[in-house]
Chain A
C-alpha cells in the first residue's frame, strides 16, 4: 500500500503544505493571515482535495515553522531549521549553507552530510527580512515581485546608508526626489539587504554549495546581490518556498521508516482535521 506523508510549514506570512509519496504529489502555498493560520486545517484539506485523498490516508504529519506548535492534527513538531535542511538536501545533496529569507525572519543554516550542525537567526528586526523589501516597495509604489528584475537593471546601485527599515524608507524617498533612478535605487536596496544578510550568515563560515530559500529566493536581484557579496554561486530550489514543508514530510517518512525497522508501532495523533484554537 502506498504511504503518504504530509508536511505543513506555517510561516509568519505564508502557509505551505506538501503531500508526498515517493515524490511531491500535491502542494499549496497560501498567505498566513490570522484567519488562515487558525484555519491550517483548511489549507491541508485543499492540498488533500487536489489529489483526492482523505486525511486518514496520510501515514504521518509533521508541522514546522513559526506556527507549528498550534497544529493540533500534526503527529510531530520539528523546527524549521531541521526541516529546511532536510528539504534542501533533498534537492541539493551537497549543500553546505542554507540562507532562508522569509517574510519576517531570516536564518542561516550550516549543513554537514545533509544535517544541520549550526544556525543563526534574525527574528527580531525587520531589516534583513522580506518585510524590509515590502515596506520599501510600498514606499516606491512598485510591486514586491517586480523588485528583483528592476534591481538587475541598476548598473550603479545607490548607496543606502541606513539599515533600519524606518530610516531606509525615508532615505529611499529622499534619494528618489534627488533624481536617483528607480533601477539604481532598487539595486541599492537589494545590495543593502544582501549585505545585512551576509553579515549575519558569515558567522557560520559560509561554504559551498550555498542554497537560498524562502520568499527572498524568488527575487532574482537579491539572489545576485547575495552571490556577489558572498563570493559564491548561489543556487535556488525549484520552489524555494516549499523546502521547509518538503523537509517536514521527508522527516515524517524517516520517522515512519525507522519505527518499521525497529519493529515498534508508529505513534500518531487522532486523524481529524481540527481548527487551531489558540495563538
Chain B
C-alpha cells in the first residue's frame, strides 16, 4: 500500500482519550522490543493473550511474542492479505481463523527467506525460541496454530498448557467441582514452569512471582474501577478507545507499566468527567458492544457511530478482568495457586447470577448487568466469520437476551385501535465481517446497517412511554 494511503487511514481514526492515542507507539515499541531482545540473545516465546501465565513469563525473563497481536497489527495496517494468501497457497483453508492464517503465512515466509519478509509491518515478528499453546475450551487455533507453525520451525519446541473451566449448567454447583479444576490448572502451570526452567536454565523465583501476581491483582482492580468510570453521562471513553487501551491488559499484565497505564487513564477519565467532556458533544444513544472482536482495519466505524451521536460506554470484548476482591480467592501463599483461583473465579464469575434468572446464561447475565449499569439503549455485535470460538455463541446470546429481557415500556396499538401497555427488547445490530480479512468487509453495507440502526434507536426512544 502506498505510504500516503497508510497515512490517510491513520489520520481518519479519532480517539477520545490520550491514553488510547498513546497505544499505537506502545505496540510498535513492544514489537520492536521483541526484535531487539532476540538480537540480545534473550529467550522469546510465541504465546496467546488471556493465557494466565503472563506473570510467570515476566519472572522467568522470557519475552512474549503475542502472535494474535501481530496478525491484528497487519490487519489494522491493511497489510494482512499477502500473508493470508501465502497461507492459503500452502494449503490452509481460508475459513480458518485468519489470525492463525496470517501468522502461518508470515512465519513460513520468514523461515524461507531467513529474514523478515519485505516491508514487514513494524519490523516483523521475531523468531521464537519456544511456542506456548494455551488451549481453552473452544478455540482450536490455540492448540493447532503452533503445531502447524512447527512445520516451518521444527527446532522450536511447543509446550501445551490446558486451562479448562467448567461449562455452565444450571443444576451444577461450581463449588462442587472447583477443587478438581484448581488442582488441574495448578498442575498445568507447574508443568509450564518446569518446561521454562529447562528452556532457560534458570530456576523460578517464587518470591518474585508472588510480587508480580500481587501487582497483577492490583492491576485487575484498577482496570475494573477505571472502566466503571465510563458509566458517566456523557461517557468519557468508548469502545473504539477500549480496543486500544486493552493492550497493556492483555500484553503486559503483572508489570508496573501496565498498572501505571490504568492509573493514568483513571485520572484522565476523572478529569474528563469533571469537565463533562464526552466522547461526543451531544450524546444521544448509549450502546453496548456485546461481543465479537472488531474489524481491525475498520476501527473508524466507531467514529462513524460517534458522528451519529452514538457512543459505546462499555463492551464485553477484551474486558478480561473482574474485581479481584469479588472472586473469592482463598488465602494462599502459593502464587501458582492464586493464579489458578483467579482464572477459575473469572470464568465462573457470572454463574450464580445466571442461575437466578430463568432462561439466562452467564454471558447473557453479563450483558444485562452492563445494560443496566451503563444505561444502554441498544446492543451491537460483530460476527467475525473466521473466529468460530467467540462468534458462534454470540448470536445465540443475543437471541436469548431478547427472549428473557425486555426493558422498554411501550404502548402497542391493537387491532381495535386500543393501546395496551407492553415491554420490548432493546434494539440490536449484528455487523458481519472479519477480524483481519478485509475481503469480507463492505463499508457501504456496514454503514447502511449502522444508519438503519440509528433510525431504529430513534424510533424506539420515541415509542417509549
Q: Which residues of A line the B interface, CB within 8 A?
A: 66, 69, 78-82, 94, 112-121, 123-124, 203, 205
Contacts and interface: CB of A to CB of B under 8 A. Distances in A.
Contacts of B137: none
Contacts of B448: 66, 79, 123
B411 interface: yes
A118 B430 CA distance: 11
Contacts of A94: 413, 415
B456 interface: yes
Contacts, number: 61
Interface of B: 395, 399, 402, 410-413, 415, 424-425, 427-428, 430, 432, 442, 444-445, 448-449, 451-453, 455-456, 459-460, 462-463
Given A79-B451, A118-B456, A112 B424 contact: yes
29 contacts: A66-B444, A79-B448, A79-B451, A80-B452, A81-B455, A82-B459, A94-B415, A112-B413, A112-B424, A113-B412, A113-B463, A114-B413, A116-B455, A116-B456, A117-B456, A117-B459, A117-B460, A118-B425, A118-B428, A118-B456, A119-B452, A119-B453, A123-B449, A124-B432, A124-B445, A203-B395, A203-B399, A203-B402, A205-B402
A203 B427 CA distance: 12
A81 B452 contact: yes
A123 B445 contact: yes
Contacts of B428: 118
A258 to B, nearest CB: 13
A134 to B, nearest CB: 20
Of A66, A81, A117, A120, most buried by chain B (CB within 10 Å of CB) is A117
Nearest to A205: B402
Task: Report the 7 A-B pairs with minimum CB-CB distance, sorted nearest first.
Answer: A81-B452, A115-B459, A79-B452, A82-B455, A79-B451, A123-B445, A113-B413
B452 A112 contact: no
A120 B425 CA distance: 14
B383 to A, nearest CB: 10
A117 B463 contact: yes
Contacts of B415: 94
Given A81-B452, A82-B452, A205-B402, A113 B460 contact: no
B422 to A, nearest CB: 9
B410 A81 contact: no
A79 B455 contact: yes
